[in-house]
Amino acid sequence: MKLRIAIWSGVGVLVVVFWTLYISATSSTPLGIGWSLVYLTCPIALAHHYAVNFYSVLLINAATYALVGSVVETTRRQYKSRMISN
């Protein structure tokens, strides 16, 4: 289970790197549905009014994905054990 949570955390880091590269490569900010995707996949982006450096965003997004991953993996584990016992 620790490996799966680490994978979730790694995906959180990759999401931040992807959005950073995408926004810097297009030299503009995403519009409309693009911002919705950014807010959905990188919740720290909701705090864009505050000065947050790149490494803090990486750390916060990795922690957010690790938390979500631990909830999902715990739920999956409970559901799987329940299915086997029936």
Residue 86: pLDDT above 60?
Answer: no
- Region for residue 14 given its phi and psi (left: phi exceeds 0; alpha: psi -120 to 50; beta: otherwise): alpha
Q: How confident is the model at residue 50 (pLDDT cuts 50, 70, 90)?
A: confident
Q: Is the confidence at residue 62, as pLDDT, over 90?
A: yes
Residue 27: band (very low, low, confident or very high) from pLDDT cuts 50, 70, 90 = low
Who wins on pLDDT, 13 or 22?
13
pLDDT at 39: 84
Cα three-residue angle 19-23-41, rounded to 5 degrees: 25
Per-residue confidence (pLDDT) for residue 9, from 0 to 100: 93
pTM of the predicted model, to two decimals?
0.79
Of the given ranges (7-16, 27-36, 38-47, 69-78), which has the lowest mean pLDDT? Answer: 27-36
